[in-house]
Structure 1
Amino acid sequence: MIEIVEGFPQNVIALRASGELTHEDYEKVLIPAVEAALAHRDKVRIYYELGPEFSRMKAGAAWDDLKLGLVHYSRWEGVAVVTDHDWIRHAVDAFRFLVAGEVKTFRMSEAREARDWITGPVERTKIRLS
């Protein structure tokens, strides 16, 4: 299940996942929230919290997540993923190239820092070659 988390600026779509994520969660909650936010601005930010209650993502939800990310590739300004699930943290690290904006992962104990980061000035980290 995905629920919208209130108390964030309008340019941040804040979500909390629990239990099992399904295609219907994306279709009824996440995709409409993203489309509504993008109707009023060029870029949005995502705060995505997957706590201990989160168990898994069904294949349909994983596909929806990938499609949503690619369709709006250049419109993600920043993504904060808050979780203690190591497999999610590894997946985010592996697929961060699919997001044009900055992507950071945080532990659940760092949720306040994640909120501060996603609502503050988010800048793309520059890679230095030496």
Structure 2
Amino acid sequence: MKIQRHALSIGIDRIDDHVFISLKAQGKLTHDDYQTITPMIDAALATVTHRDVKVLFDATELEGWELRAAWDDFNLALKHGNQFAKIAIFGHKRWQDNITKIGSWFIAGDVKFFETEGEAIAWLKA
């Protein structure tokens, strides 16, 4: 039996007034994945009043989104896009770089794609 894993894991750190979010996507994301993760992101960002959140998104195991999940992702970007200072996405597929460029249209801060986690972290720290 083949197991098809899909998940969106989240880590949220608050250091003084700064918020750091780490995300790891696996498989093809579903609407149910966003139903689980969105309230956590909403709660973490509820008190953020200015563009100060940094995000590290591990897309190395991401295979894509179901249509409704892509819509959920779009809505999340619209809702919180003004709160993000930097979003670093790292993965190994060309389409991920293209999606990053499109996603940057809806985020007030900087969004950039990297092929390694080390490069992504270095950029977030700069």
Q: TM-score range by the shorter chain?
A: 0.7 to 0.9
Q: Match for residue 128 of structure 1?
A: none
Query: In 1, are the aligned partners of 2:12 and 2:19 still within 8 Å (CA)?
Result: no
- Alignment of 1:48 with 2:63, yes or no, is no
**1:38-69: CA deviation from partner (whole Å, max 9, x where unpaired):** 12323422211111x32221111100110111
Query: In 2, are the aligned partners of 1:76 and 1:101 still within 8 Å (CA)?
Result: yes
For structure 1, the 5+ residue unaligned runs are 122-130
Secondary structure (helix, strand or coil) at the match of 2:23 reads strand
**d(CA) in 2 for partners of 1:13 and 1:95?**
17
**d(CA) in 2 for partners of 1:71 and 1:28?**
16
User: TM-score normalized by structure 1?
Assistant: 0.78
Query: Residue type of the partner of 1:115?
Result: I
Deviation at 1:78, TM superposition (A): 1.1
Query: Residue type of the partner of 1:70?
Result: L
Deviation at 1:17, TM superposition (A): 0.6
- Alignment of 1:73 with 2:88, yes or no, is no
Q: Match for residue 124 of structure 1?
A: none
Give the counterpart of 1:33 among 28, 40, 44: 40
Query: In 2, are the aligned partners of 1:37 and 1:44 still within 8 Å (CA)?
Result: no
Identity %: 30
Deviation at 1:74, TM superposition (A): 1.3
Cα-Cα RMSD: 2.1
Task: Count matched residues.
Answer: 116
Q: Match for residue 13 of structure 1?
A: 21
**d(CA) in 1 for partners of 2:54 and 2:24?**
14
Deviation at 1:111, TM superposition (A): 0.4
Deviation at 1:91, TM superposition (A): 1.6
For structure 2, the 5+ residue unaligned runs are 1-6
**1:14-51: CA deviation from partner (whole Å, max 9, x where unpaired):** 0101111011111102x123212212323422211111
User: TM-score normalized by structure 2?
Assistant: 0.80
Q: Kindly indicate which of the two structures has a greater share of residues assigned to strand.
A: 2
Query: Residue type of the partner of 1:117?
Result: W
